């Protein structure tokens, strides 16, 4: 886990219910919601199926994206079909 998502690393087996109050319909729709939220909000608020709420600072996510990708050996933040 990175400082950004510390405490959330052991969450598994739960589904995303909403992002900032909006239900996602597909991975493509989730990508659109993430992009829209990044332009208009300060935080991502992920509401999960187990009633937990994960809140991440959008600016911190953008700042740390490169180092998180490097830590996990990833070349990009999304699959090619979602870029």
* Separation of alpha carbons 9 and 68, rounded Å: 13
- In this prediction, residue 32 carries a pLDDT of 94
For 29-51, the pLDDT digits (tens) are 999 999 999 999 999 999 999 99
E strands, the chain, are 16-19, 22-23, 43-48, 53-57
For 60-78, the pLDDT digits (tens) are 999 999 998 998 899 999 8
Joined tokens for residue 16: 């995303």
Other C-beta atoms lying within 10 Å of the C-beta of residue 17: 15
* Separation of alpha carbons 78 and 83, rounded Å: 6
pTM of the model: 0.82
Q: How confident is the model at residue 12 (pLDDT cuts 50, 70, 90)?
A: confident
Of residues 2 and 78, more confidence is placed in 78
Mean pLDDT, residues 5-23: 86
Residue 45, burial from CB neighbour count under 10 angstroms (0-12, 13-18, 19+): middle
Q: Above 70 in pLDDT, residue 1?
A: no
């Amino acid at each position: 886990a990175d400082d950004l998502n510390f405490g959330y690393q052991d969450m598994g087996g739960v589904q995303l219910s909403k992002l900032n109050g909006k239900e996602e319909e597909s991975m493509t729709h989730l990508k659109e919601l993430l992009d829209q939220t990044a332009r208009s909000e300060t935080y991502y608020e992920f509401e999960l199926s187990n009633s937990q709420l994960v809140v991440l600072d959008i600016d911190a996510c953008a700042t740390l994206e490169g180092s998180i990708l490097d830590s996990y050996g990833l070349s990009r933040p999304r699959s090619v079909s979602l870029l």
